[in-house]
Amino acid sequence: MSGVALAEETATPLLRVENLAVEFDTYGGIVKAVRGVDFTVDQGKTLAIVGESGCGKSVTVQSMMGLIPMPPGRITSGSARLRGNEVLGRNRLDGKEIRGAEIGMIFQDPMTSLNPTMTIGDQIAEPLQIHKGFTYRQAFDEAIGLLEMSRIPEAAKRARQYPFEFSGGMLQRAMIAMAISCKPSILIADEPTTALDVTIQAQILDLMQDLQRETGMAIILITHDLGVVARMADEVAVMYAGKVVEHGSVDDVFYRSAHPYTLGLKEAMPTNDPTKQHELQPIEGSPPDLFAPPPGCGYCPRCPFAMQICDTRHPEDSFLKEQHFSRCWLHHEDSPSKPADLYFKDSDP
C-alpha cells in the first residue's frame, strides 16, 4: 500500500484505489501492466496520472470501469471503492451502475470512439435512456442542451449530424457532452487533447474546468503532457512501469520533485519562460520489459543516481510531507547520496 493510502485523512475520499494489479495473457507471455497502484480522488478535485506511453495509466482506469477484455486481461489484486462501495471483484456493483452513471469517460481518440452510423444526438441520448429512463424525445432534447453546454454552436442542428460532419475539436466536445450526460461523480479524461491544435486544446481544458465548477464532479486526467497537468491538476500521480513512483500536490511534484523520473520528465519539457530556458535533456534508454518486471526499481537502468540496491530491491515509500511521497532509495536514511536537484524531507520548503 502506498503512502497515499496510509496518510491520515480528515474525510473519506470519493474514490479510493488500493494495490490494483492487472495482467494480460499474450503469445509472448504474461504482461504485468499494472503492479500495485494506489490513489485517492476527492469530490471536486482533479487528479492527474502522468507517465510515458505504456506505463499503465489507461489500463488502470479501464480495469476499474470493467473495460478491459477478460480474457486476455485479468485483475489479480486490488480494491476500488466508490463512496465506500467496492467496484472490483465478486461484490462489485453492476457495471451499468458505474459506467456512464457514476463514472464518465472521455476516450483518447474521438474520431474512432464514436459510432459513425449514429447521429451525435442519438449517441448522447442513449445513456440517458439506459441510466435515467428517459423517453427518446426527452433524451434527445437533453442531448441538445448538453451540446449547448459544451459550447457547440447550432446545437439542435448539430445533434442531427453524424461524426464525420464534425471537426476534431467539436468531436471532443461531443464526447464531453456524452460523458457528463448522466451527471457522473467522476469524469475520466484519457488524453483529452490528443491530436488537437494548441488553441483547441486550451478551449477543451477551459470547458472541462468550467463544467467541474458547475457540477462539482471530480476529474481523473490521464496524460503525458506536463503543461496540461500544471494547468488542470490539484494532485499528481507519476507512474512508471506499472507503479506510482511519486504522488503529491501539483506544486509538490513540479517544484519539489522527489523522484529522478519526475525530474527527468521536467528536464525534457520545453518552456516559454525566457528566464528558465534550458537545453532539453531526453531520458536515455527504454522502460523495463513488463513480461519479466525487475525485482528492484524499474527506473534503475535509466536513472543517473542509481545505486546497487536499486537493481535488486524495490524501494520503500518515503513520506516527504503529508501527502507527498516518493518510491526511491535515495530517500532512505542510509542513502549515501542526496542529489541537489531532488527534494528531500529535510530540505527547505
Q: What is the CATH number of the domain that holds 246?
A: 3.40.50.300
Half-sphere exposure for 69 (CA within 13 Å, toward CB)? 4
pLDDT score recorded for residue 64:
82
Is 290 part of any domain? yes
Tell me the three state secondary structure of residue 201: helix
Cell numbers placing 9: 485523512
Query: How confident is the model over 106-127, as pLDDT tens digits?
Result: 887 777 788 899 999 999 998 8
Is 157 part of any domain? no
| pLDDT one digit per residue (tens) for the chain, 349 residues | 444 444 444 468 889 999 999 999 999 899 999 999 999 999 999 999 998 888 889 899 888 887 888 889 899 988 888 888 888 754 444 555 666 678 888 887 777 788 899 999 999 998 888 888 889 999 999 999 999 888 888 999 999 999 999 988 888 888 888 888 888 889 998 888 776 777 778 888 888 888 888 888 999 999 888 888 988 899 999 999 999 999 999 999 999 999 999 999 888 777 766 666 667 778 888 889 899 889 999 999 999 998 999 999 999 888 888 789 999 999 988 888 888 888 888 766 5
Q: How far apart are CA 205 and CA 211, in angstroms?
A: 10
Cell numbers placing 18: 488500493
The pTM of the full predicted model, rounded to 2 decimals, is: 0.86
Is 132 part of any domain? no
Of 212, 150, 144, 209, nearest to 176 by C-alpha is 150
pLDDT score recorded for residue 273:
65
Q: How far apart are CA 307 and CA 100, in angstroms?
A: 46
Give the DSSP letter string of 56-89. Answer: SHHHHHHHHTT-S-TTTEEEEEEEEEETTEE-SS
Is 110 part of any domain? no
pLDDT score recorded for residue 274:
67
Is 25 part of any domain? yes
Q: Quick check: bond before 163 cis, omega within 30?
A: no
Spatial CB neighbours of 70, under 8 Å, sequence gap ≥ 6: none
Sign of the C-alpha dihedral computed for residues 30, 33, 34 and 35 taken in this order: positive
Is 115 part of any domain? no
Is 266 part of any domain? yes
CB environment 318-344: b (16+ within 10 A), e (fewer): bebeebbbbbbbbbeeebeeeeeebbb
Q: Which domain holds residue 267?
A: 3-102+184-331
Is 66 part of any domain? yes
Stated as kind and residue range, the H or E segment containing 106 is strand 103-106
Of 75, 81, 124, nearest to 104 by C-alpha is 124
Give the number of domains in the chain.
Answer: 1
pLDDT score recorded for residue 89:
58
